[in-house]
Structures are given as structure tokens and as C-alpha cells.
Chain A
Amino acid sequence: MTTLGDSLLASGISRRAFLKFCTALTSLMALPPGMAPAVAQALAKAKRPSVIWLSFQECTGCTESLTRTSSPTLENLILDMVSLDYHHTLQAAAGFAAEEAREHAMKEFDGKYLLLVDGSIPTGDGGIYGTWGGESFVDILEQSVKGAAAVVAIGSCASFGGLPKANPNPTGARAVSDLVKNKPVINVPGCPPIAVVMTGVLAHYLTFGRIPELDAQGRPVAFYGETIHDRCYRRPFYDQGKFAKTFDDEGARSGWCLYELGCKGPITHNACATVKWNAGTSFPIQSGHGCLGCSEPDFWDKGSFYKALATTSWGDAATLGAAAAVGVAAGAAAAWMARGRQDRIAKEK
């Protein structure tokens, strides 16, 4: 099997271009830029992995997010580097031919393929709420996991159950990590996840041949290590106590903090505030709407999107104060004041 380095050089890419590509990849993976030479060294030796993508209870938004990325060169190069052997939406084959492709890849790359899953898995009533080819999603997942090197749960549904799991969860929807216990599971939540976060995780596996460092929720620390609030450009207004009270008041027009309008930024771990969306154009808060917390477990069932955090069931004021203290800018005093402010807002509502 040829290495990625060989195939890139064979396609006429100069060493200088390859090094530049690795610099861009290092930035994409949110690694320190000093690691670019190490990335180049590892990537030159990396093998092209087989990827099987299973779609269960999902809306295809995650695939849309991934395939509609607007930086064609880098994303395409990464996608070209993997052998995407099975993907419902993207593959030309259908029916038995499609299932054959999956079974063939599973056999040929046994123990080595990367399994990507979007959507939750309905486990209620024997798993009858989701089937293809007469087999339940539960069974298909179980079969496909057996020979996988690792499983990547793409999106909030696969990571945490997402909308299908929303109360009263009529289909008994579960997250991938609820069902897969004997393989490493990387959660890449978001509704949908940011495209470069998905490709960044793939690139990390591709480059280093192992999964990235994960947090307690199984999310890659490089992308989910900080909250939206920590990196929000409106953060200074939060620290100054300047809040928009309605969506059309002076505060909203002046770009003040959206905390009181229900922004879940302080407890939401994601890269929206730095990576942003649509080729770095903007993100919800920049567009004047609070964060919904879509990359956090059960965000759908935790109270109104438009109520301040302290009045919802996202956690008590003490944990919210702790979340605020994580910010580099906020010292202990600032966090204490912020907690007082949250308590006050909670009482007013």
C-alpha cells in the first residue's frame, strides 16, 4: 500500500507545497504551528485508511455541513486521502450492491477501518424503529463496529442521542457511546458539527494513526476544550455587565452580551467563536442570536432557548460560576461577580 506522502508527491505536488499543506493542516487540527514538521513527517508515512459511514436516526445535516465546505483544496485533499467505501447519501450504489460494498470493506480492512456514525440508534421495541435491508440499526452498528479501529460519532445525535432522544424519546434513541463499549469512540457533537472540526478529527487520525486527546464527554480537546463564552468577542460586555434585554433594544443594536436573552455560550464547548461558520464568516452570536448549546448533551430538553442560563436546567448557579471562571480573562473576583449576576437574573425572572 502506498503512503500518503508518496501519492501526494506522485501527483506532482512539490515538497514546499506539501510543507505548506501540512502547515494548513496543523492549523486546521488546532495544534501549535511548531508541530507542522512533525505533521509532515507523520503524514508522509501515513496509509490511506478505509472509512465506512453509517447514517441512522439523522437529518443528513452533518453530511451537508461536511460536503458544503467552501475551502475545496484542503478539505478535498483530506477527503481524497481517505477511502470512503460506504456512505448512503454520497455513494452511487444502492440496495444489495451498496451493502456488498460495506461488507467488502469490512472484510478487506478488518480491524483497520474507521467507522463514522451520524444519527442516534433507536433501541426501543427491539430496534424496529430503524432498519435497512431488514436489519435493525442496532444490529448493523454491532456488526460494523466489530472490525473497526475506532468509531467517530458525528453530530449531537450520534454523540449524545440528540433530537431523536428528546423527551419522551418515543423510539428509545441512544448515543453510539451507550452501545459501543469495546472500541474507542470519538464524539464530534454539534447540530451540525463545524466542517473543519470533522475534517480536523479525520486528519488527526490520518496523520498520527491514533485518536486525538478527548475530554470527559469523549470530545476532542483541541476543538471542544473551551466554551463559546471563553472565546466570544462579546465577552468584554459580559464582564462589564452590559446585556441586551430584548432583541431590538439599544443593547442588542450595540452588540452587547446575549446572556439574558438565553445565550448558552458559557456552558457550551465548541469552536464556533474561533473557527466560525461559512468559511469563517460569522457564528450565531455574531449574527445577534444567542448560542443554543447544540453541541452539549440533551440541549433540546434543558429549558427555553430564550431564558437566561441560570433559570434553565443546565446546572446550578455554582457550576455556572465555575464555567465563567474557566475564562482566561476572568479572575476569581470576576467569576464571583458573574455568579452574583446570574443569581440576580435568576431571581428577577
Chain B
Amino acid sequence: MNALDRIGVKVVAAADLPTGNVKALLHELAELLDAWLQRGEVASIDLRSLPLSLGDYEELRAALGEGAVSASVEAIGASEVRESRYPGVWRVTHRNEAGEVVADLIEVCALPEILRAPVEDAAGGLIRLKETLQ
């Protein structure tokens, strides 16, 4: 036991505890999923714009669970795409090359945009493919 350990401080990391905000978020997701099914409106929520504690993130992860699809994308850093146990509700986490989260979203749609091959990239790919065939 060192000197620091003998100081009688009780550490309660309140910032880590759930705040109850996840319940509100899940209600919003239900609304968004309904809007997508009824009217075909896709939507996304920027998780970092919400006051979520570490405990909230843990609670959200458990609430969304694991769905049928999970994918990773390499584009100036890794991006993870995971479908939740509610089909059409996706957690999309974008990281930079240093591995830091630069955007953390929940998307409500058939397929998150990042998974689609952009036509510009496909056109470049076609050129490369033809070169290999020459």
C-alpha cells in the first residue's frame, strides 16, 4: 500500500453511471423506425451531440444488441457498421487513422451509406481492372 492509497477518498465516478437518457433515445429510435416504415424517411442520430455517460453507452450497446450484419470499412481509418437486434437500426462508428472516434451514429435505413460503393470509386476501379486485363 503506498501513501496515496492511505488517503481516505471514496471515488464514485458519477460520469460513468447511466443517466436514464438511453430510454429517451430508444423511444426516439422507435419513432424513427416507424417513420422509415410508414414513409420511407431515413434518419440518423449523432450520439456525440447527446449528453451520454460511459454508463449510457454501455446501456445503449446492451439495448441494441447484435443483429444479423456486422461490417468494417477501411477509409482514412476504420469504420464499424453493426446492425442492431432491430433490423434497420444500425450503429455506425467512424474512426480516424489514429483510432479515435470522429463520428458515432445510429442510422435508421436499409443500408448505411458508407457500405455502398460510390460510382466515382467504381469508375476508378474499372480503369484499374481493365489495366490488369491488358
Contact B96 A74, beta carbon cutoff 8 Å: yes
Given A27-B103, A253-B9 in contact, is the A19-B114 Cβ separation under 8 Å? yes
Residues in A21-37 with C-beta less than 8 Å from chain B: 21, 23-24, 26-28, 30, 32-34
Contact A73 B48, beta carbon cutoff 8 Å: no
Contact A73 B53, beta carbon cutoff 8 Å: no
Given A20-B114, A74-B96 in contact, is the A233-B46 Cβ separation under 8 Å? no
Contact B51 A232, beta carbon cutoff 8 Å: yes
Contact B51 A233, beta carbon cutoff 8 Å: yes
- B9 — which chain A residues lie within 8 A by C-beta? 253
Given A71-B96, A253-B9 in contact, is the A274-B48 Cβ separation under 8 Å? yes
- B117 — which chain A residues lie within 8 A by C-beta? 16
Partner of B46, one of A33, A253, A273: A33
Partner of B94, one of A24, A72, A236: A24
- A283 nearest CB across to chain B (Å): 9
Complex Cα distance A241/B45, Å? 31
- A231 — which chain B residues lie within 8 A by C-beta? 51
- B92 nearest CB across to chain A (Å): 8
Contact B50 A255, beta carbon cutoff 8 Å: no
Partner of A16, one of B44, B48, B75, B98: B75
Residues in B44-95 with C-beta less than 8 Å from chain A: 44-46, 48-51, 53, 73, 75-77, 79, 94
Counting contact residues on chain B (CB < 8 A from A), the size range is 35 or more
Contact B76 A21, beta carbon cutoff 8 Å: yes
Contact A27 B100, beta carbon cutoff 8 Å: no
- A299 nearest CB across to chain B (Å): 23
- B10 nearest CB across to chain A (Å): 5
Partner of A23, one of B13, B94, B118: B94
- B48 — which chain A residues lie within 8 A by C-beta? 27, 274-275, 280
- A7 — which chain B residues lie within 8 A by C-beta? none
Complex Cα distance A17/B117, Å? 11
- B19 — which chain A residues lie within 8 A by C-beta? 233, 236
Partner of A34, one of B43, B73, B75, B98: B43
Question: Is residue B14 within 8 Å, beta carbon to beta carbon, of the partner chain?
Answer: yes
Complex Cα distance A20/B53, Å? 25
- A26 — which chain B residues lie within 8 A by C-beta? 46, 103
- A282 — which chain B residues lie within 8 A by C-beta? 15
Contact B46 A27, beta carbon cutoff 8 Å: yes
- A99 nearest CB across to chain B (Å): 37
Question: Is residue B5 within 8 Å, beta carbon to beta carbon, of the partner chain?
Answer: no
Question: Is residue A234 within 8 Å, beta carbon to beta carbon, of the partner chain?
Answer: yes
- B33 nearest CB across to chain A (Å): 16
Partner of B76, one of A73, A254, A286: A73
10 contacts between A and B (CB under 8 A): A14-B124, A16-B117, A17-B76, A21-B76, A23-B103, A24-B102, A233-B15, A255-B12, A274-B51, A279-B100
The 5 closest A-B pairs by CB, nearest first: A255-B14, A24-B102, A73-B96, A17-B75, A15-B118
